[in-house]
Structures are given as structure tokens and as C-alpha cells.
């Protein structure tokens, strides 16, 4: 079964990969994260993802265009919860890509973080799956969060201190 896995960063991918390693899935990492700021952080995450994917023989599709304007207009500039808007933006792109490229399902590494709004990400993933005709593969990856930290430290992967958006940069420095 072909799984497109929206990937926010290499450490989260490492834990999710471990969680589904034995499920015989053909995994493609999909890096689409216009929320990440600043550009240096964006590039660090891409570099770490490329490193992990090449060491684990995982195909990765990386949307490398750094454009914080997309985040500001479609997430921060909208009413409602910014995390909800951000999940919707990224999971919609993943679902679109999965549908157009004949994936059986898609999921997200967002589901590994105990700091993210898990139920909200699951709900939006299901909505986007229905909208684009591709199943949202749901699994609670949070039990593998500590594994992701250990794996990324062991492999020397770049690990960030915040979700990535420019609003969380300010919050993490408090």
C-alpha cells in the first residue's frame, strides 16, 4: 500500500517510520510546510529530512519554496484557531498530491507530537481525505514520540524547539 506521509521534520518522521516500519507500506515523505520560519529553520529541516530519508531509503518529495506569505495569508490572516488553519493548509496539499499521484492513503507526522492538537489533525485529515478521494491513514503515533527524540539524537539529526511557525518562534523564546 502506497502511503504519502506529510512530514514536518526528520525527528518526527523517524518516530512515525519506526511505528509503521513492519506494516509493509511503501512510504513517501511529503515536505510541504509554508508555516516554517525563518528561512534558516526551513532549510535546516529540509537538510535533516534529506539526511534521514537517504539513510533509511525513503523517497521524499520536498516542496522547497520558502514562502511565509502563504502562511500569513492562509493561516495567520484568517479567523479561527491558527493551528486548525495551519493543519488544513498542509493536509489539504498532502491530500491533493496523494489523490493526483495515485497513493492509497496519506497521513502526517503531526500525529506523533504530544504538543499538537491530535484530534483536530485527525479530523482535518479525514475531511481532506474525503474531499480529494484518498483515505486518511490514522494511527496515534504519540507513543513513539520519545523514540523519535532518541533516534534523531543517535543519528545527529537537526531538532527544533518549536512547531515552526513565526508565531511559535516568539512563544518559544518567552
Average pLDDT over residues 40-53: 95
Q: Is the pLDDT confidence value at 165 over 90?
A: no
Task: Say whether pTM exceeds 0.95.
Answer: no
Fold of 2-172: Rossmann fold (3.40.50)
pLDDT in tens, 92-143: 999 999 999 999 999 999 999 999 999 999 999 999 999 999 999 999 999 9
- pLDDT of 68 reads 79
- What are the boundaries of each domain within the chain? 2-172
- pLDDT of 120 reads 97
Q: Is the pLDDT confidence value at 87 over 90?
A: yes
Q: In what order do the strands lie in the sheet with 26-31?
A: 59-62, 26-31, 2-6, 105-108, 135-136
Tell me if 38 sits within 8 A of 162, measured CB to CB. no
Q: Rounded to an integer, what is the distance from CA 103 to the centroid of its chain? A: 17
**pLDDT category, 174, cuts 50, 70, 90?**
low
CB atoms within 10 A of CB 1: 12
At residue 5, what are phi and psi to the nearest 5 degrees?
A: -110, 100
β-sheet bridge partners, residue 136: 106
Amino acid at each position: 500500500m502506497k502511503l504519502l506521509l506529510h512530514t514536518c521534520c526528520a525527528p518526527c518522521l523517524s518516530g512515525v517510520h519506526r511505528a509503521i516500519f513492519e506494516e509493509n507500506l511503501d512510504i513517501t515523505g511529503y515536505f510541504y510546510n509554508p508555516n516554517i520560519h525563518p528561512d534558516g529553520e526551513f532549510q535546516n529541516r529540509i537538510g535533516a529530512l534529506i539526511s534521514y530519508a537517504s539513510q533509511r531509503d525513503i523517497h521524499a518529495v520536498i516542496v522547497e519554496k520558502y514562502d511565509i506569505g502563504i502562511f500569513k495569508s492562509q493561516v495567520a490572516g484568517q479567523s479561527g484557531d491558527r493551528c486548525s488553519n495551519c493543519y488544513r493548509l498542509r493536509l489539504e496539499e498532502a491530500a491533493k498530491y496523494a489523490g493526483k499521484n495515485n497513493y492509497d492513503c496519506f497521513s502526517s507526522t503531526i500525529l506523533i507530537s504530544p504538543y499538537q492538537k491530535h484530534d483536530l489533525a485527525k479530523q482535518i485529515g479525514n475531511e481532506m481525505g474525503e474531499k480529494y478521494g484518498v483515505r486518511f491513514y490514522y494511527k496515534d503515533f504519540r507513543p513513539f514520540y520519545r523514540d523519535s527524540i532518541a533516534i534523531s539524537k543517535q543519528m545527529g539529526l537537526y531538532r527544533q524547539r518549536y512547531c515552526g511557525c513565526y508565531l511559535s518562534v516568539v512563544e518559544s523564546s518567552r
